[in-house]
């Protein structure tokens, strides 16, 4: 139910406004009926017009970018932090007067301090409410599932998931929650270049390097999204995400590949069929995904012969999902396609913000892609 004690539209400040994630948040907020962007903040861009960086959002082009300080961000109803990991924690701690803060970076995602130390080093921050409404948080023998959505209601500090994490989690969590696969898991994600952020000085991100080229990165267990994916898999099976030993039981091989497209993630996840799944028909296995996602507005389980494609979800908060069984190899495959900036970052953050405020979950969002 909508919080009737608030005066809408609520004021929103976005830090990291000139980056890709911040820009996508602004694009969505500019058309949202319940929010008004009243502050945009940056660092090197401070003092410049927002329109110099986001001409595709004319409604907000006249705003002047302010410095990213607690004084600038305080006093707003909502603050969205679209900052690199390590930059949000100390800043967020000084925003006590802000009703809702959403961190799109990694600082508040991991529940295990050991996992953070292992992949990020020092500077661990306490976890916030995880902003993936469709995350499965347990199930029963009849494939009845519980979801993270119930924890988002009235939440005031939200941690946005990683984009690759979102794609891999949505592709495979029903299989894990239902006990259909073993814990040795292989995941590959074909990722658009915006996933690397809006950086200068990176030769490998130049068009001359990227066009006509696909290249793997952060391979062999080094990608920082791995412990977050493991944490989500643990939750799907009703386990404690704070227990680093428990989440490490998921032996995840994750290989991301940069592909010459601006947006999108196409994830392919596979694992060996469990004994339980080997006794089930392909239709029964598919029915698990149908039960998991049948009532989810933004998740589309595609017809059995249709595979997800990034072009179909660009510009939307949708996730297109498919499941397939390879009987010869004894493997179950989960596929997902998402827009990394929308569904993978800003879109689901605003979806979660809607839930926290009791607004319609789809307010300001669409599941209609831009294709071709």
Tens of pLDDT along 295-305? 999 999 999 98
pLDDT digits (tens, 9 = 90+) for 225-241: 999 999 999 999 999 88
Q: Binning pLDDT at 50, 70 and 90, where does residue 2 land? A: low
pLDDT tens-digit series, residues 74-112: 999 999 999 988 889 899 999 999 999 999 999 999 999
Q: Are 172 and 233 in contact (CB under 8 A)?
A: yes
CA distance 276 to 351: 35
Active-site residue among 163, 167, 273, 285? Answer: 163
Asked if the domains at 10-161+345-357 and 163-339 fall in one CATH topology, the answer is: no
H or E segment and range at residue 335: strand 331-338
Is residue 150 over pLDDT 80? yes
Average pLDDT score over residue span 34-43: 95
Higher pLDDT, 139 or 191: 191
Report the distance separating Cα 76 and Cα 73, nearest Å: 7
Q: How confident is the model at residue 308 (pLDDT cuts 50, 70, 90)?
A: very high
Model confidence at 358: pLDDT above 80: yes
* pLDDT for 200: 62
Q: 147: which DSSP letter? A: E
Contacts of 371 (CB under 8 A, 6+ apart): 311, 312, 314
Is 125 one of the catalytic residues? no
Best-predicted range by mean pLDDT (82-96, 137-151, 350-364): 350-364
Share of the chain above pLDDT 90, in %: 81
C-alpha torsion angle, residues 52, 33, 151, 133 (rounded to 10): -70
What pLDDT is stored for residue 302 in this prediction?
98
Residue 199 has pLDDT above 70, yes or no: no
CATH class held by domain 10-161+345-357: alpha beta
> Among positive and negative, which fits the CA dihedral 256, 130, 348, 333?
positive
Res 296: pLDDT = 96
Q: Looking at residues 23-37, what average pLDDT do you find?
A: 96
DSSP-based three-state secondary structure for 106:
coil
- Look at residue 1 and tell me whether its pLDDT is greater than 80: no
175 touches 333 (CB < 8 A): no
Q: Is 49 helix (H, G, I), strand (E, B) or coil?
A: strand
Homologous superfamily (CATH) of 163-339 is Dihydrodipicolinate Reductase; domain 2 (3.30.360.10)
Q: Is the Cβ–Cβ distance between 21 and 346 less than 8 Å?
A: yes
Collapse the DSSP code of 223 into the 3-class scheme (helix H, G, I; strand E, B; otherwise coil) and give the result.
coil
> Once rounded to an integer, what is the mean pLDDT over residues 132-158?
91
Strand order in the sheet with 251-258: 215-216, 251-258, 181-191, 265-273, 331-338, 319-326, 299-301
Residues near 85 by beta carbon (within 8 Å), at least 6 away in sequence: 105, 106, 107, 120, 224
Backbone angles phi, psi at 247, to 5 degrees: -75, -25
**Cis, peptide link before residue 372, omega less than 30° from 0:** yes
Give the per-residue pLDDT at 208.
75
Domains of the chain by residue range? 10-161+345-357, 163-339
């Amino acid at each position: 139910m909508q919080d009737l004690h608030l005066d809408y539209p609520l004021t929103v400040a976005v830090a990291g406004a000139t980056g890709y994630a911040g820009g996508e948040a602004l694009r969505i907020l500019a058309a949202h009926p319940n929010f008004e962007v009243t502050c945009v903040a940056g660092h090197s861009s401070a003092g410049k017009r927002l329109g110099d960086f986001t001409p595709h959002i004319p409604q907000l082009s006249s705003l002047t970018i302010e410095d990213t300080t607690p004084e600038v961000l305080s006093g707003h109803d909502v603050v969205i932090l679209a900052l690199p990991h390590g930059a949000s924690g100390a800043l967020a701690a000084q925003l006590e007067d802000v009703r809702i803060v959403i961190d799109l970076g990694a600082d508040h995602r991991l529940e295990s301090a050991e996992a953070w130390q292992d992949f990020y080093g020092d500077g661990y921050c306490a976890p916030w409410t995880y902003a993936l409404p469709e995350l499965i948080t347990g199930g029963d023998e009849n494939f009845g599932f519980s979801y993270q959505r119930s924890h988002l209601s009235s939440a005031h500090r939200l941690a946005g998931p990683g984009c690759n994490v979102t794609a891999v989690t949505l592709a495979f969590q029903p299989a894990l929650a239902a006990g259909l696969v073993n814990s040795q898991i292989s995941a590959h994600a074909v990722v658009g270049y915006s996933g690397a952020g809006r950086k200068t000085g990176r030769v490998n991100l130049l068009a001359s390097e990227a066009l006509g080229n696909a290249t793997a990165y952060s391979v062999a267990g080094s990608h920082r999204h791995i412990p977050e994916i493991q944490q989500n898999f643990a939750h799907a099976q009703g386990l404690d995400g704070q227990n680093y030993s428990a989440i490490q039981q998921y032996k995840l091989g994750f290989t991301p590949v940069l592909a010459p497209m601006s947006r999108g993630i196409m994830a392919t996840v596979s694992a060996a069929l469990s004994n339980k799944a080997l006794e089930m028909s392909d239709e029964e296995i598919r029915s698990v995904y149908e039960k998991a996602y049948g009532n989810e507005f933004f998740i589309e389980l595609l017809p059995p012969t249709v595979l997800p494609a990034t072009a179909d979800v660009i510009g939307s908060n949708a996730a297109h999902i498919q499941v397939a069984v390879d009987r010869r190899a004894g493997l179950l495959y989960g596929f997902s396609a998402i827009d990394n900036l929308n569904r993978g970052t800003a879109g689901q953050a605003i979806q979660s913000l809607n839930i926290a405020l009791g607004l319609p979950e789809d307010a300001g969002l669409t599941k209609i892609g831009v294709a071709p």
